[in-house]
A and B are shown apart, each in its own frame.
Chain A
Amino acid sequence: KQEVTQIPAALSVPEGENLVLNCSFTDSAIYNLQWFRQDPGKGLTSLLLIQSSQREQTSGRLNASLDKSSGRSTLYIAASQPGDSATYLCAVRGGDYKLSFGAGTTVTVRA
């Protein structure tokens, strides 16, 4: 059974600091890994999708890396802004149709 862990559970940084969010998974036989953002009481917004054959993906200030063999992914957010405050979730897709999620990291960016 795939287990996805995100540490830390919460993070508070001053505006302008770079954010580093970690995701680990127990079964390395994955098709892809997806990072999401969730604002309070809202649905999930897809940020980045990394296929199992890729090492990283970039979109604007966001960069995600994937080390499948060690079961780890890291999401980097450069020059954080108060608008980046949200919960960030990672999810992996294995050999079936479902996504397995971590519990998320709640980020607060202080102005």
Chain B
Amino acid sequence: DAGVTQSPTHLIKTRGQQVTLRCSPKSGHDTVSWYQQALGQGPQFIFQYYEEEERQRGNFPDRFSGHQFPNYSSELNVNALLLGDSALYLCASSRGTASFNQPQHFGDGTRLSIL
């Protein structure tokens, strides 16, 4: 039973570039959430996708956008990269219909470094 998988594991970009991160949820899960974790801090919620739509968004600028596909996988896109976007990006999945009482399952993350 595959867990949450994320790709790539590491990425190096320069300021101003654009990046796409990918996530496949755990088998049986249909909801995907994205979090940003800066060094030494707890993860911060970016947004959640359910039924291919953004269900909730955290306090992040419009440079951060996402997409969910019919197979429930998801992408996180970040445009006009800033040095402050350097972080570990985590994807979490759960079952949408009972997500309030279900545990969130996280992937190993993508480490994004901006030069």
Contacts and interface: CB of A to CB of B under 8 A. Distances in A.
B90 A51 contact: no
B108 A103 contact: no
Interface in A1-22: 4
B16 to A, nearest CB: 26
Interface residues of A, number: 25
Contacts of B43: 44, 89, 91, 99, 101
B101 A32 contact: yes
Contacts of B8: none
B94 to A, nearest CB: 9
A46 B104 contact: yes
Nearest to B110: A43
Interface stretch (A34-42, A66-74, A75-83): A34-42
A31 B4 CA distance: 23
Interface residues on B, range: 20 to 34
B42 interface: yes
Contacts of A34: 103-104
A86 interface: no
Given A36-B106, A46-B103, A46-B106, A97 B42 contact: no
Contacts of B58: 98
Contacts of B106: 36, 43-46
B108 A102 contact: no
A44 B33 CA distance: 13
Given A89-B42, A98-B48, A103-B40, A43 B90 contact: yes
Interface in B92-113: 92, 99-101, 103-109, 111
B15 interface: no
Interface of A: 4, 31-32, 34, 36, 41-46, 49, 51, 89, 91, 93, 96-104
| CB-based closest 5 A-B pairs | A101-B42, A98-B45, A44-B106, A43-B108, A49-B103
